[in-house]
Structure formats: C-alpha cells, structure tokens
A = this chain, B = another copy of it.
Amino acid sequence: MQTISIIGGTGELGGGLAMRWAKAGLPVIIGSRDAARAAVAAAEINQAAGNELARGMDNLAAAEAGDIVVLSVKFSHHKATLEQLRPMLKGKIVVDTTVPLVPPKVTRVQLPPEGSAAVIAQQTLGEDCRVVSAFQNVSAGSLKHDTAIKSHVLVTGDDPEAREAVVVLAEAAGYRAWHAGPLANSAASEALTSLLIFLNKKYKTHHAGIAITGIGDD
C-alpha cells in the first residue's frame, strides 16, 4: 500500500488529514522540522486510530519515505520548503494544500503573480513531479470530528491519473471530491479560502466550506 507523507504534518490541517487517513487504514508519515514533535504527533494518531499506521520523521526523511507527499506549510515557507525537498520528490505525486494568504488581510484574495501557489510548486519542482492541488477549502477544525463532512474537495492537476489518486485520498478522508481541471484552476480553490475566511467572520462560524451542486442528484 502506498505511504502518504505529510510535510508540516503537525499542523492543524496536515495532522487532521493524517488522522483521517490512518483511521481509514492508510499508512502515514508525519513530517515536521522537529522529528521529536513528529513522533509525538504520530503516537497520538496511532492511539486515536487504534492502529500503528503513523510514524513521525523530520520533513526531509518524510519526503524521502513517502510515495505520495502532501505539502501543508504556510505560504511564506512554501517555495523554500519545495526547493529543499526537491531531490526527494522526484517521480512522486506532490499534493499541494497551500493557500497564498497574505497577512494581515487574510479575508482578501491576493493571488501571486504566477496565478497560484500550486503553479509555483510545479514550476519549482519541474517536470519530474506531478503536482496536484487539493484541500485548500477544508475546515481544519472539522477534520477532528467524526461527523459527516458536507464540504467538498476540489482537485486540480495537469495529470489526470495523479489527480485521480488524490480524489481517492480525499474520499478516504471522508470528502466528496471532484476532478476540477488543470493545475491552473487551483487559482479558484486558493482564492476561495479568503472568501471562506470572510464568511466565517461575517456569519460567525468556523466551518464555512463549499460544495458542488447540479451534478447527479445534488
């Protein structure tokens, strides 16, 4: 079975996804700049999931050991992290969850000149990696609960096969997930996050998300 490594796996989004994948029976590696912190987080996941599918490593070792590598770091660390990990990511599917928020105005869409963080990732990693973008609109808090999740995951990427692998991962984490087009379309998912943060403030919630309507029975 393929191992999923999560760079920044001790964060709220990365840790929440790791928990859901471990509970679904998938082997996960928690990556962190601090291997000891990663080991603690992995132990917590194993206890909660009732299995031994999670391990902790530093980010470099995690990137090396994973078959699919999920990137869950702040936008300010995004490009430097990718440059550092590039040698370990060759030939792999890299799942970019990064949202290009520009504090302090996080409720305002401020996409980078390249169009999206995911496009920056593909440009940084080059042709050897297949970058797929997903999970930008996930409420990290909602990952902790075992209740059904109503929000959907938009999956974008230029390689349909790699995209399909990430659709399957999102479904394993409990989401309805969609093939949402080429990697350039990550601009939509990334922009939506600022809009959802605005909705959270305006409508006094923490879990605003999006769903696709008009397909099948929905």
Contact = CB atoms under 8 A, between A and B. Distances in A.
B198 A185 contact: yes
Interface string A70-94: 0000000000000000000000000
B110 A184 contact: yes
Nearest to A111: B187
A69 interface: no
Contact of A213 (B150, B179, B181, B195): B150
A10 to B, nearest CB: 25
A107 B110 CA distance: 22
B208 A209 contact: no
Contacts of A111: 111, 115, 187
Contacts of A46: none
B218 A214 contact: no
Tell me the number of copies of this protein.
2
A154 B195 CA distance: 9
A109 interface: yes
Nearest to A152: B213
Interface stretch (A30-38, A54-62, A199-207): A199-207
A191 interface: yes
Interface string A139-169: 1001000000011001010000000000000
Interface of A: 107-111, 115, 139, 142, 150-151, 154, 156, 178-182, 184-185, 187-189, 191-192, 194-195, 198-199, 202-203, 205-216, 218
Task: Across the A-B interface, give the 3 residue pairs with the lowest CB-CB distance, nearest first.
Answer: A207-B214, A181-B198, A188-B191
